[in-house]
Amino acid sequence: MESNKRSNFSGSIGFVLAAAGSAVGLGNIWRFPYLAAKDGGGLFLVTYVILALTFGFTLLTTEIAIGRKTAQSPLTAYGKLHKSWGWIGVLACLIPMIILPYYSAIGGWILKYLAAFCTDATATVADGYFTGFITAQWSPIIWFLVFLAATTGVVYMGVNSGIERMSKIMMPILLVLIMGIAGFSLTLSHTDANGVTRTGLEGLAIYVIPNLEGVTFGKFISILMDAMGQLFYSISVAMGIMIAYGSYVKKETNLVKSVNQIEFFDTLVAFLAGLMIVPAVYTFMGTEGMAAGPSLMFVSLPKVFDAMGGIGTIVGIAFFVMVAFAALTSSISLMEAVVSSFMDKLHLPRKAAVLSVAAITAVLGLVVCLGYNVLYFELTLPNGSVGQVLDVMDYVSNFVMMPVVAIATCILVGWVVKPQAVIGEVTHGGIHFGREKLYVVMVKFITPAMLALLLLQSLGLFL
């Protein structure tokens, strides 16, 4: 029956929360605050918001509309839109299949830290704790499998009973936790060994007030690329997710309103993540602590929580519960993108498709975990960074394949099937599309040009 009757979200609220849950992932939690602190605070925020309302809106609208118009998964939707462009769907399906294993491995790290904060929070502060954990042979694998099992269980239950129901539970809790921690961060004050006192409100100023010192044209272009790169995968586009979720949206759902709500949720949580992390890290570690990058969540923040005293353990537990929820909602959407593709292309029932994807993910995830010990190597990537298995998978999927899929999607919609193919779906039922003219200009000209620059930057050919 599953192959004959497609599942649907029960209403727009379920769809918006599921889509927002997908968008609100680990990138919002650690990467957004780090980039905001690095790129002039408020200047980065303003750039990000403008891009969200133009660049992000264009890609989000396009993918959701393609999904609902074709009622197909990413693997088959592009071919149904135009038979000669089905190859985009193959890439769009491969991307989440590459991301899901290493994302689940990181999800396992989060669960490990949550467990550590519940038992012995002080242990996480020790130098080398994080490195010792990820380089161990069995512990990362066990936590990875626990996280994968949680993801598989939700997707196994289906669109309504699994994805939609869990999104309605987890997203409100996530928002309450992140707002609570953000508010607490602003009340902090700390005097270091040199007698220098810093406060959360000073950290807030660094975060939200534009810092134009030393900003040249080249520096601004760099900030623009950072903001676009952050937005690119924080709204879950070019990885098949929004096409899959769009295919479950009922025809009577107002897509204009839904896209606006998803944009709002994603931008709000990204901003609150910065409000939660930047003031706290600045208070206890100064501006140097905010330059930690990816290690911010696993190395810097545990030290910040420890410096808070007894309340720090409670805040740390709340933080890692919140991050675990954010990671889980995103991993669920990654798995669903592939599962829906298996169901549509191979005509598998949901349960068989879920178990097949989980098995593939388990094998690839083991390779990711072993990439820090048995299979360890270092490779210099075209963008100049040095990494091993996880970093290579992240680079190939996020920095190469995703821009290619997004550029190809813009060309297909903008010049081959024409923007009206998407506009007609968005305005179905007489819905007013207020940003229609902006959409046409963005999808035909500006978005593909910006994506091309982003791709060139990732390949080390620009900036």
Q: What is the pLDDT at residue 400?
A: 95
Residue 160 · residue 168 · CB < 8 Å: no
DSSP3 helix / strand / coil % (the chain, rounded to 5) = 75, 5, 20
Q: What is the pLDDT at residue 360?
A: 98
Q: What is the pLDDT at residue 291?
A: 65
Please report the beta strands in 131-225, taking only residues with DSSP state E, as ranges in sequence order. 189-191, 197-199
Confidence of residue 462 (pLDDT cuts 50, 70, 90): confident
Question: Phi/psi class of residue 40: alpha, beta or left (left: φ > 0; alpha: ψ in -120 to 50)?
Answer: left
C-beta neighbour count of 18 within 10 angstroms: 27
- Average of pLDDT values for 47-65? 96
Q: What percent of the chain has pLDDT over 90?
A: 81
Q: What is the spatial distance between Cα 26 and Cα 285, in angstroms, rounded to a whole number? A: 22
Domains of the chain: 12-458 (1.10.4160)
Q: What is the pLDDT at residue 35?
A: 87
Q: What is the pLDDT at residue 3?
A: 44
Backbone torsions φ then ψ of 377, nearest 5 degrees: -155, 165
Q: What is the pLDDT at residue 294?
A: 60
- Average of pLDDT values for 273-279? 90
The token pair that represents 130 in the structure block: 């994080």
Q: Could you tell me the CA-to-CA distances from 96 to 109, 216, 237 in Å, in that order?
A: 19, 37, 11
Question: Phi/psi class of residue 384: alpha, beta or left (left: φ > 0; alpha: ψ in -120 to 50)?
Answer: left
Burial class of residue 335, CB neighbours in 10 A (0-12, 13-18, 19+): buried
The answer to whether the predicted template modeling score (pTM) of the entire model surpasses 0.75 is: yes
Kindly tell me if the per-residue pLDDT of 2 is higher than 60. no
Residue 246 · residue 16 · CB < 8 Å: no
Q: What is the pLDDT at residue 290?
A: 67
Residue 47 · residue 229 · CB < 8 Å: no
6-15, 101-110, 286-295, 407-416: segment of lowest average pLDDT: 286-295
Q: What is the pLDDT at residue 225?
A: 92
Q: What is the pLDDT at residue 83?
A: 95
Best CA proximity match to 178, nearest among 57, 98, 266: 266
The token pair that represents 39 in the structure block: 């790129």
Confidence of residue 65 (pLDDT cuts 50, 70, 90): very high
> Could you report the per-residue pLDDT of 172-194, keeping only the tens digit for each?
999 999 999 999 999 999 998 88
Mean pLDDT of the chain: 93
The token pair that represents 177 in the structure block: 């936790």
